[in-house]
Amino acid sequence: MKALIIGATGATGKDLVNILLKDPDYTEVVVFVRRQLGLTHHKLLEIITDFDNPETVSESMKADVLFSCLGTTLKAAGSKDRQRHIDCQIPLQFATIAKRGGVSTIVLLSAYGASSSSRVFYLQIKGALEDAISQLQFRQCIIFRPGLLLRKDTDRAGERVSAAVIKLLNNIGLMKRFKPMPTSILAKKLVKAPKVLPAGKHEIVLDKIFNF
């Protein structure tokens, strides 16, 4: 299989690239990036991309599966409009072009609680993206909705505190569904999904990701 990736420089995306390169079922891995990853591998093709103009790389979006892991924080984006553009509009543009180019499978990294009707802005834009991508009618549409992710060497203090609290609650038998997930485990499940799931739409949520 040939895989396309957007969001390859994020924590999950980095793990995803490394796992795909080691997986014999994936023969080519194409990543769309603003800057080079610093990796060298015979299966890897890096395409420096202007994410505000994805049509310029449309000819390179012909493959079997698109992994969509692009996302940011409101702080990093600088405004809600910019975060909506990065988290929703850009991934939808890539998905639309990929579908037009013959890609049959999309694996979308979303978030637990995503809903276009949510009062939480982040969950609202994630839900809007899910709705829009579902309407594209890929042969295989796989949506992952993890909870808190454990990123290597994270500099987000709130993330570390939240993980510690949830782990403590897990130890006394509470909130088991919300067990924090290392990005390396999530990436392995993303890679596995297109190979084992049938055609159709699939939503894999929270602790079900661990057991998938």
- Mind telling me the catalytic residues? 122, 126
- What SS3 class is residue 201? strand
Among residues 194, 192, 183, the alpha carbon closest in space to that of 212 is found at: 192
- The two tokens of residue 202 are 């699939």
CB count, 10 Å around CB of 124? 19
Q: Which residues contact 3 (CB under 8 A, 6 or more apart)?
A: 20, 26, 28, 29, 30, 63, 64, 65, 66, 67
